[in-house]
Structure 1
Amino acid sequence: MQQPCYIDLEQARQVLAEMGIELNARQMKRAADKDANGQRKLPFFVDPIEGKLKIEKGSLVRIYRELQVQAENSAKTPP
């Protein structure tokens, strides 16, 4: 089993950029911040040692891949 790799907001933004998803720092922060219901768009958590938002790199990539697969499965196929 592969060890988890926890990354911060800027590193997450770079990982997404490598995948072709260009976000600015503000957009990334908005995805990590809790909404009015206390939910985050992405599974960031506060690192108990550094006090900074972190996410597991594999989880971030997996979320985007799963969404891509869902989109492909729900796409209409031509008659």
Structure 2
Amino acid sequence: MQMPPHYIGLEQARQVLAEMGVELTPRQMKRAADKDAAGRRKLPFFVDPIEGTLKIERGTLVNIYRQLQIDAENQYRNKD
């Protein structure tokens, strides 16, 4: 059975990353969630239509970091 999505806000996302060893300040977290000049976010946050706050799915956030780690490990192994 698939788990339902678990949406979290900026501060909760910052805490999840801290548990993984990625220490960010509230300002760094907000910059990762804010849109850049091209209208893109560094992380896939979206505006909650009810609360009007930024949210991200917890599993997605963790998976992004895991995938980046896997990619880095694969690049390291394939550098020969």
Give TM-score, length-normalised by structure 2: 0.94
The number of equivalent residue pairs is 79
**Percentage identity across paired residues of the two chains:** 71
Shift of 1:77: 6.7
Shift of 1:44: 0.1
State the SS of the aligned residue for 1:75.
helix
- Structure 1 unmatched ranges of 5 or more: none
Shift of 1:54: 0.2
| Distance (Å, rounded) in 2 between the aligned partners of 1:36 and 1:16 | 25
Q: Deviations over 1:26-79 (max 9, x none)?
A: 000000000000000000000000000000000000000000000000015797
- Structure 2 unmatched ranges of 5 or more: none
Superposition CA RMSD, Å: 1.4
Give TM-score, length-normalised by structure 1: 0.95
